[in-house]
Amino acid sequence: SKSLSDEENLKLFGKCNNPNGHGHNYKVIVTVRGEIDPVSGMVINLTDLKEYMQEAIMKPLDHKNLDKDVPYFAELVSTTENVAVFIWENLKKLLPMGTLYKVKVYETDQNIVVYKGEETI
């Protein structure tokens, strides 16, 4: 985080605190919901969903240094939580309204973030 000292970054981010960056092979699972089309038997055509995921996830993020190559993260820490929000926001623009239910991002097998958009309590 640019707003923290080197010591604070080390304490907060541990081994992920590397001034030269570090990489992850994220795994993303997208869940949709809605009425099942009686003809196709699907909520959304899987070919369409794959294209939306390519546009919203792979194109802007794949093989990129998130902090340097993705404008969204220029002033925002590229945590897995913020990656999940980024993916949600991009997918929501492409998917039919109301069909996006959940974005699940695996940073590792033990570090997983689930995001369902902004929920009001």
93: number of Cβ within 10 Å: 11
Whether the CB-CB separation of 115 and 102 falls below 8 Å is answered with yes
DSSP state of 56: I
From 55, 81, 89, 107, active-site residue:
107
Given 16, 24, 55, 89, the catalytic residue: 16
**CA gap 92, 100 in Å, rounded:** 6
Three-class secondary structure of residue 96 per DSSP: coil
Strands of the sheet with 27-32, listed across from one edge:
27-32, 100-106, 112-115
From 63, 75, 118, 119, the catalytic residue: 63
Give yes or no: 16 in active site.
yes
In angstroms, rounded to a whole number, what is the distance separating the alpha carbons of residues 27 and 49?
16
Active site residues: 16, 63, 107
